Amino acid sequence: MTDDSQSRWDEIAAFWDDYMGEHSNRFHREIIRPKTEELLEVKEGQMLLDIACGNGNFSRRLADLGAEVVAFDYSPNMIERAKLRSTNYTNRIDYQVVDATNYQSLLTLGTEKYDGAVANMALMDIADITFLTKALSQLLKKSGIFVFSIPHPCFQTPTTRKIHESEDRNGEIVTRNSIQISTYLTPEPSQTIGIKGQPVPHLLFHRPLAYYMNLFFSSGFVLDGLHEPSFEKDDQANNRFDWYDIPPAVIFRFRKM
């Protein structure tokens, strides 16, 4: 399903780039970026790989933190958008069009070259991540780390229903959010709308937590960092469903042994 997935992202690349802009959306700013940076522990002069980089928002952030960055995506349109937004980073970011499901193409990025790699909300968009996992064991230096975030598989499956309830309890309005799911263990693809109004749905590949962990364990990685971030409750939380006290994403750090 890689070709289908890639063509969809090429079609929605301009829409996503325009929506995310220079600073991305609230989800990335408050949920993904802070804990990802905490797990990456970026240091001046490190060589980092940004996998499925999209329009390069996080690639530029890594460069601002002092890293040398190689960033790739399988959507040529996304890479063109990333380059247009990164004219001041030509000496710090090398953008390339690479398919994360193509093992040989991944190895051309350089073996044992990277101190770390990152993939922000991307692995669930990749039809087959086995080749990427295998390649990372070659691309990373000894003790190199891979930090990635995905929608939390326990709470965001293809069958998830988000429920926002309100009741008058003895004169006080009480609200409650909950999640209802009917499947979890079975990996399955689905079509999804990540941003309301995008031209076509893109493909999402649900996998349970054990799938990710066992895949990386079998490739010589250990899990040494994990976060399940959620939004802080705000003044509007009582009027809508929000990911308050239910984590919409999970962020892993695997280390090459």
Joined tokens for residue 41: 């522990």
Is residue 100 within 8 A of residue 129, CB to CB? The reply is: yes
Q: Is 199 inside any structural domain? A: no
Q: What is the pLDDT, as a whole number, of residue 240?
A: 76
DSSP for residue 113: -
- Model confidence band, residue 175 (pLDDT cutoffs 50, 70, 90): confident
Is the pLDDT assigned to residue 141 strictly greater than 90? yes
Q: Is 196 inside any structural domain? A: no
Q: Is 222 inside any structural domain? A: yes
* Stated pTM of the model: 0.93
Is the pLDDT assigned to residue 166 strictly greater than 80? yes
Look up the domain containing 138 and give its range: 2-151+206-235+248-256
Is the pLDDT assigned to residue 218 strictly greater than 80? yes
Q: Is 106 inside any structural domain? A: yes
CA distance linking residue 20 with residue 121, whole number of Å = 13
DSSP for residue 254: E
Q: Mean per-residue pLDDT for 109-126?
A: 97
* Domain at 117, CATH number: 3.40.50.150
Q: Is 88 inside any structural domain? A: yes
Q: Is 102 inside any structural domain? A: yes
Is the pLDDT assigned to residue 205 strictly greater than 70? yes
| Percentage of residues in the chain having pLDDT higher than 70 | 98
Q: Mean per-residue pLDDT for 209-234?
A: 95
